[in-house]
Structure 1
Amino acid sequence: MSYPGYPPSDGYPAFPGYPPTGQESVYPPAGQYTYPAVPGGYPPAGGGTYPAAPPSAGFPGAGYPAPGGYPGAPQAGGMPPYPGGAGFGVPPAGPGFGGYPQPPAQNYAGGGPAQIPGFPGGQAPSPMPGPPAAMVQGTQGTIRAAADFDAGRDAEILRKAMKGFGTDEQAIIDVVANRSNDQRQKIKAAFKTMYGKDLIKDLKSELSGNVEELILALFMPSTYYDAWSLRHAMKGAGTQESVLIEILCTRTNQEIREIVNCYKSEFGRDIEQDIRADTSGHFERLLISMCQGNRDENQTVDYQKAQEDAQRLYQAGEGRLGTDESCFNMVLATRSFPQLKATVEAYSRIANRDLLSSIDREFSGNVERGLKTIVQCALNRPAFFAERLYHSMKGAGTDDSTLIRIVVTRSEIDLVQIKQMFTQMYQKTLATMIASDTSGDYRRLLLAIVGQ
């Protein structure tokens, strides 16, 4: 696949501070965050009702839902103690998840309880469809394709903004922040057709610093931007492992395969060979697994398999002396995200400890961060990216490349949900934190993308 205007020789500049250094995402301490309140009560609006209560021998709190709603429904400010420590439909607030924010629980429907050893009373919900793909991948971006789009008109606006003495940055911002990535590619092609000039080169000559990096990222095709980010994370001395984890452990199968092909066609390199050259051990194996783009994407959750996988993970870690790392790699690299979520729930019942805590105890360094990222995405992908954004701006200085990369890559996927999780997790809006950490045209463009 070839991307016009992106020959490696022309190249994007080696942005100052890119790749980021020392800004590894730190998983929030257990219990730091509470279950987000659900607007309109529980279950979520339109989510239907809870099924009739299972037999008292099988699940604690038999008889719910109680008249008037689910007992102990979440209230603003946090989630109440989880009845009995195990059960039906609602993730534990404490053990089992380490306090990681959860999306609203999905209703269980259809079928009677299946007999599975290890579940309370030997019973568990029957296999059923898991959360819809939209919930797993995110459902809404802050940038949508503009209506009445005219690539030629936009190209003319950008030409006027850069022509003559000085640059009209606001005119550039108004165009690029309100067009989809596909529309930006059409603007780029129209610009060359109309003026015989390369839009990217013109933008690079007119802009500088972080606003240049941000605008050039917006004009890169999304697959190319991921491939470019991975190349620069491994290029030269040192490796930015956090970038490799962030991209390879969170993308869909199709996205991974397109990234791998683009990496080969645009940079003339094999991504697996570069990973092997820049990483080692169990971390290398995890990334190679991710590069295959072969994760199961069946959205149906098999609770029997979840129980078996949870037992397998326990026996590979907490239940033995030493750690069978390959077992963790196999389960976390192959199971669908809804299936992994069910496995995490089953694991907490078996081990009396959440899986993230066990990974903390059994692993260290980059492989620990990679495995945690997969689990966090299974539990709540927008919360993972919200956490990454927070740590890119927390404390002295700003990790601008991480901030730019996440805002750009999620702007058409799930940035709306990321903003919501950011507010719930940190009691401040993403826009507020961006405004306090950035300035000038860079701030204006970021805020235009994020939306108020």
Structure 2
Amino acid sequence: MKGYTMETNISMDTCWGTLGSVRPFPNFRPEKDIADIQSACQQKDVTTLVRIMTNRDNAQRQSLAQNYLSTTSKELTADLKRALSGDLESLMLDLLLTPDQFDAQRLHRAMKGLGTDEETLLEVLCTRSPPQLKGITSAYNKMYQKDLEKDLEGDTSGDFTKLLLALIKKENGTGTVDQDVNCLSEELNGEKADATPWISLLTTRCPDHLRKVLTSLEGAIGQPVDEALEKRFGGLMSGDLKLGLTTLVHCIQNPATYLAKRLQSMKGGVVQGVLVSHCEEDLLIVRVAYLRETGTSLYSALQSQFKGDFQNALLALCRAED
């Protein structure tokens, strides 16, 4: 089965060397796009809006938004809001944010109102690199006139807070595999569970090093690390911490598989968050992982779960059947 129709004239050279499903549109003509978008907004031509917005990469969409304002004296976001509604409106507006702004928005929404969406907080913070996290933190502070670190402290507690704060300051340092394995082994064999060594090591080493550490640790303890963490931090009072540490371990070991499992919920907010965040980065390997985990392609799963124009937009970001 073919994926949602892409605009033509995309060469193989353009596609080469990226793991994203959405790539720069090679025949990008802002003036034509602006005219088409303005007409589509007036006529509420959703098909044209989806076609353009999902066939341009983020840099091109940022250029469109800037040029739309200078050409029409109107904000593109305002015109899209008047033309669209519901889930599709939300998705199209998300595509107009920069990657840092989008992740910052997800963090803010995860802490907004009653309750905290710990899983979304962890998804963003565990899957992002140190440079990305710096950009996200800066975007958050600018967008909401609030300090991300203080908001995390105010919305969470205990060792879970310590983990989140360590994640936003994540480092790509190096260490000695044997020493790190011994450190974690000693903690697992200790009388009382202590999150400090886990938080310290898992947030200050580069992913390649940590994968070696976790593989060696599993050999030493004779079980998967996530199972060891479940037993070690499975007490009722430390549920968030257990979730945080196991999520971080899963993201270190195989981020694509972690994201594929997140997508299996097929919750609209989760799916939209992952697709927008990763469609220009690594969605192709997430699709492969989803197929491996479920036996069904992500494209087919989206077709089964969602309907109408929102479905078409999600399929456009997913791009093709596997």
Check whether TM > 0.5: yes
Task: Determine if the alignment matches structure 1 residue 411 to structure 2 residue 279.
Answer: yes
SS at match of 1:408: helix
Provide the residue aligned with 2:197 in structure 1: 327
Assess if the C-alpha contact under 8 Å between 2:233 and 2:241 holds in 1.
yes
Q: 1:249 aligns with which of 126, 130, 152?
A: 126
Q: 1:361 aligns with which of 231, 252, 255?
A: 231
Task: Determine if the alignment matches structure 1 residue 427 to structure 2 residue 318.
Answer: no
Identity of aligned residues (%): 28
Provide the residue aligned with 2:245 in structure 1: 371
Give the Å deviation of 1:264.
1.2
Return the alpha-carbon distance in structure 1 between the equivalents of residues 283 and 273 of structure 2: 12
Assess if the C-alpha contact under 8 Å between 1:151 and 1:186 holds in 2.
yes
Assess if the C-alpha contact under 8 Å between 1:386 and 1:422 holds in 2.
yes
Change (3 A) 1:245 1:171: same
1:24-423 equivalent positions in 2, closer than 5 A = 140-163=19-42, 166-296=43-173, 305-317=176-188, 319-364=189-234, 365-391=239-265, 393=266, 399-423=267-291
Return the alpha-carbon distance in structure 2 between the equivalents of residues 155 and 372 of structure 1: 46
Assess if the C-alpha contact under 8 Å between 1:257 and 1:293 holds in 2.
no
Give the Å deviation of 1:139.
5.2
List runs of 5+ in structure 2 lacking aligned partners: 1-16
List runs of 5+ in structure 1 lacking aligned partners: 1-137, 394-398
SS at match of 1:413: coil
Give the Å deviation of 1:307.
2.0
Q: 1:444 aligns with which of 296, 306, 312?
A: 312
SS at match of 1:338: helix
Assess if the C-alpha contact under 8 Å between 1:311 and 1:350 holds in 2.
no
Assess if the C-alpha contact under 8 Å between 1:173 and 1:445 holds in 2.
yes
Aligned length in residues: 300
Instruction: Tell me the TM-score normalised to structure 2 length.
Output: 0.90
Return the alpha-carbon distance in structure 2 between the equivalents of residues 167 and 263 of structure 1: 32
CA RMSD of aligned residues (A): 1.4
- Higher helix residue share: 2
The one-character-per-residue Cα deviations of 1:381-413 (angstroms, maximum 9, x if unpaired) are: 11111110112x2xxxxx211110100000000
The one-character-per-residue Cα deviations of 1:151-200 (angstroms, maximum 9, x if unpaired) are: 1211111101011xx41111011101110001001111111111111110
Assess if the C-alpha contact under 8 Å between 1:307 and 1:347 holds in 2.
no
Return the alpha-carbon distance in structure 2 between the equivalents of residues 390 and 234 of structure 1: 23
Assess if the C-alpha contact under 8 Å between 2:260 and 2:290 holds in 1.
yes
Assess if the C-alpha contact under 8 Å between 2:170 and 2:203 holds in 1.
no
Bigger CA radius of gyration: 1
Instruction: Tell me the TM-score normalised to structure 1 length.
Output: 0.65
Runs of 4+ in 1 over 4 A off after TM superposition: none
Name the aligned partner's letter for residue 371 of structure 1: L
Change (3 A) 1:176 1:337: same
Assess if the C-alpha contact under 8 Å between 1:223 and 1:259 holds in 2.
yes
